Amino acid sequence: MNWFDRLFTRSSRQLARRTSRRSFLNKLGLLTLGGSISTLPLLPIARANPATNPVNRGEPDPNTPEGDIYDCNYWRYCSIDGFIASCCGGTARSCPPGTEMSPVAWVGTCLNPADGKHYIVSYNDCCGKTNCQRCFCHRNEGDKPVYYPSKSNDIDWCMGNQAGIVYNSTVSIVIGVEE
């Protein structure tokens, strides 16, 4: 490996350590749009409006990534590997129109930064329409292999319903507080 490769290897690794998820796309968007409108981010877009989207009880500020249901860094999405239903016509806890929520799911344990408590989150899939393809989120905290089903987000959980196994997106429903 020559000095040129080493230089870029080192700088790339440092950049990877410094930057957060999707910030590369964000900066690329800024670069593409140019300095004159560089205050307009391409990704992620700040969708939450404090005037119309007040802080829900117990939830983090929706203007932060941990409180924004359209952001992969939203606290409940800690174990997701899929498309978040909020970006597909649903919300963090409801499925898009015309889909059906799977009655079975995998569960994760996520830290809510608003109160410092760990919550048990049920990740139910929204079924019956093809892949949403928006807001792919790949956090996988606590994910286990397919042979450990209750903790596996690689499984298509669109099972045991009327809609069948066609996967669209995933919701994140709080089902309890970890004691």
Partner 1 sequence: MASLTQHTRLILLCIALLLPASLYTQAAYSQVAVEPLGVVETLPDTPGATWFWASDPLLERVALTDFSSNRVLGSVDGGWGITAILFAQQNRHEFYVPETHYSRGSRGERTDVVTFYDSKTLAPIDEVIIPAKRAHNALPTANATLTDDENFVVIFNMTPAQSISIVDTQQRRFVTEIPTPGCSLVYGAGERRVMMFCGDGSLLFITLNNDGTLQHKQRSAVFFDPQQDPLTEKGVRIGTHWYFVSFEGYVYAVDTSAQAGSFATPWSLISDEERRDSWRVGGRQFFAIHPDTMTGYVLMHEGEIDTHKTGGTHLWTFDLNTQQKIAAHKLVSPGFTFSGVPTEFGADWIWPFNGLYSWLAGFSFIEPHARPDAIIVTAGPEPVLLLGGQFSGMVAVYDALTMEFQHRITTGNLSNLVLQYPPVTSPVIPASPSEQMAAQ
Stretch that binds partner 1, among 34-42, 59-67, 110-118, 143-151 (CB under 8 A): 143-151
With b meaning 16 or more CB within 10 Å and e meaning fewer, what string describes 142-151? ebeeeeeeee
- The residue (of 76 and 129) whose beta carbon lies closer to partner 1 is 129
Distance CA 152, CA 108 (A): 9
Contact of 162 with 98, CB cutoff 8 Å? no
Which of 50, 54, 58, 164 is close enough to bind partner 1 by CB under 8 A?
Answer: 164
- The residue (of 26 and 64) whose beta carbon lies closer to partner 1 is 26
Please pick, among 68, 71, 106, 143, the residue that the annotation labels catalytic.
Answer: 106
Please pick, among 68, 71, 81, 125, the residue that the annotation labels catalytic.
Answer: 125
Task: Assess 1 for contact with partner 1 (CB under 8 A).
Answer: yes
Three-class HEC string of 26-68: HHHHHHHHCHHHCCCCCCCCCCCCCCCCCCCCCCCCCCCHHHC
In angstroms, give the least distance from the CB of 38 to partner 1.
19
Active site residue 71: no
Residues marked as catalytic: 106, 125
